[in-house]
Amino acid sequence: MDKQQLKEQVETIRQAFSYINRFRGQTFVIKIEGSLIGDPFFPILVKDISLLHHMGIRIVLVPGAKDRIDDILNTYKIRFDMINGIRISTPESMPFIKMAAFDVSNGVMTMLAENRTNAVIGNWVRARSIGVRGGIDYQSSGMVETLEIGIINNVLNEGLMPIFPNIGWNSQGKPYNLSSNELAYTIATELKAAKLFFVTRAGGIRAKGFTVPKSVYVSSDGFISQFTLSEAEEFIGANSGATAGEAYELVSLACRACKRGVARVHVVDGRVEGMILKEIFSNRGLGTMIYANQHDNVRPMNHADVPDVLQLMEPFVAKGTLVKRTALDLENRLADYAVYEVDGTIHGCGALHRYSSRMGEIAGIAVDEVYASLGIGQKLVSYLQEKAVRMKLRQVFVLTTQTADWFSKLGFKKADVKVLPKERRQTYDLKRNSLVLVCKISQG
């Protein structure tokens, strides 16, 4: 192993430790799509979930049972209808639905036992009927009324993993068939979970077929990797006509969960090995993250950030894509810099330097390669452009040797060195021969 690989490995271990410390004692609610349960990679997912449990994270599992219910109803030749994505659960079908729901939970519990994880299946959900909506009687399809939060917390405090089949009971003991997505959402909000996961077969939210807010970054493979709460709400509003489909439902539930105190909701692909660990320990997952607080945001740089920012820039300086800066350079222009921070870790940085003639230079944009192609670079540039508006600048420019195409995509246009303000022309490094790109700043 060469020195660089060793350095990277050590860095990964450090990062993992810092995340373990942060999340120990916190609650994660994990809803797993039922169709994943029989897949060959499912035992690996269970193993990873067990690892998290053994590290001291309080895990609650909600296994979806839709496919198993379909199988059992079909086997026993019991007809069922789905309306608006909800199964019409007749009282006659309920014993079979219960059987399927508990069968799935039992299967998951058995796999957890193989990983020495003690789990318990419970009847902690008080439910009631959805009733009649729009003239349709949903019969024994129900909704969550309350949860036995005290008991669930006791179970968690005992170091056990609670498993919730998608069944709830009314005060007379009548069972109802619940949506596992809704159930997971309710549990996460009631337990004030740090994270709610929807582990799906489709992976994160695909942009295709939806109107996506401008500020939201769509990856080249068509996925939305992150939403702020306000972006997710904008997405819900813009696509309210297209209410059918699980992706829309999950973003809606994520918005509701974030508004009720869940810090992050992750929609992730259950078919990729290690995805849940990657999502937690690097914030660079393979799905979509919807987050409530502003910690994932761009903010001004402060003194304490300087060493991290220098470290972030280092590989790009070594490659010659960024001009070297010293700690003193950064300290002297502290107010010009902004950083992109997630959970206390800096993933990106950039600066806006002011010049005469109401011109500004966007410089030192760098994004940690581990977090590349998540839209962080774009968010930093747009933050600095907004800052330029507030500073009443009329134009910003950038000098670059390797990223002209990237800035062009963000609306920058190639220009001659002559457009630079006089004082910047004097320091322009002829040997470096950087390209000049400019972008007009509209003041309203």
Ligand X SMILES: CC(C)(COP(=O)(O)OP(=O)(O)OC[C@H]1O[C@@H](n2cnc3c(N)ncnc32)[C@H](O)[C@@H]1OP(=O)(O)O)[C@@H](O)C(=O)NCCC(=O)NCCS
For position 360 contacting ligand X by CB under 6 A, the verdict is no
Per-residue binding string, ligand X, 269-308, x by CB under 6 A, is ----------------------------------------
Residue 50 sits in the site that holds ligand X (CB under 6 A)? no
90 touches ligand X (CB under 6 A) = no
- The answer to the question of residue 346 lying near ligand X (CB under 6 A) is no
Least separation, in Å, of the C-beta of 379 and ligand X? 7
- Segment lying near ligand X (by CB under 6 A), choices 4-12, 272-280, 292-300, 376-384: 376-384
Nearest to ligand X of 207, 272 (CB atom):
207
Distance in angstroms (rounded) separating the CA atoms of residues 197 and 316? 34
152, 403, 412, 436: which one binds ligand X (CB under 6 A): 403
Residue closest to ligand X when measured from CB atoms: 377
What does the buried/exposed string (b/e) look like for 82-101 if buried means 16 or more CB atoms within 10 Å of the residue's CB? Answer: eeeebbbbbeebbebbbebb
Residues 6+ apart with CB under 8 A from 158: none
Q: How far is the CB of 278 from ligand X (least distance, A)?
A: 17
Tell me the backbone φ, ψ of residue 306, rounded to 5 degrees.
Answer: -55, -50
Query: Is residue 406 part of the contact set for ligand X (CB under 6 A)?
Result: yes
Among the candidate windows 4-12, 79-87, 215-223, 241-249, which touches ligand X by CB under 6 A? 215-223
Cα-Cα-Cα-Cα dihedral sign, residues 181, 50, 259, 296: negative
- What is d(CA 179, CA 170) in angstroms, rounded to the nearest whole number? 16
Let me know: does 123 contact 169? Beta carbons within 8 Å: yes
Q: What is the CA radius of gyration of the chain?
A: 26
Neighbours of 239 (CB within 10 A): 18
Within 13 A of 124's CA, how many CA atoms are on the CB side? 23
**Near ligand X by CB under 6 A: residue from 2, 158, 405, 416:** 405
Return the number of the residue (108 or 398) whose C-beta is nearest ligand X: 398
Residue 388 interacts with ligand X (CB under 6 A)? no
Report the nearest approach of ligand X to the CB of residue 219 (Å): 5
316 binds ligand X per the rule CB under 6 A: yes
C-beta of residue 45 within 8 angstroms of C-beta of residue 276: yes
Q: How many residues does the chain have?
A: 444
CA angle 316, 322, 323 (to 5 degrees): 130
| Binding of ligand X by 376 (CB under 6 A) | yes
Minimum Å gap between C-beta 393 and ligand X is 17
- Using CB under 6 A as the binding rule, whether residue 367 contacts ligand X is answered as yes
- Report yes or no: 417 and 428 within 8 Å, Cβ to Cβ: yes
Per CB under 6 A, the segment of 53-61, 385-393, 401-409, 414-422 that binds ligand X is: 401-409
Single residue of 161, 177, 400, 441 touching ligand X by CB under 6 A = 400
For residue 434, state whether it binds ligand X (rule: CB under 6 A): no
Using the contact rule CB under 6 A, the part of the chain among 66-74, 154-162, 363-371, 389-397 near ligand X is 363-371
Whole-number Cα distances in Å, 151 to 155, 160, 192, 219 = 6, 12, 15, 43
Nearest one of 262, 366, 273 to 314, comparing CA atoms: 366
Q: Which stretch binds ligand X (CB under 6 A): 16-24, 124-132, 182-190, 214-222?
A: 214-222
Q: With respect to ligand X, which residue has the nearer C-beta, 115 or 382?
A: 382
Binding of ligand X at residue 220 (CB under 6 A)?
A: yes
Among 235, 229, 107, which Cα is nearest to 163's? 107
Structural tokens at position 304 = 């304490």
d(CA 429, CA 45): 53
Residues engaged in binding ligand X (CB under 6 A): 217, 219-220, 316, 321-322, 363, 365-367, 372-378, 398, 400, 402-403, 405-406
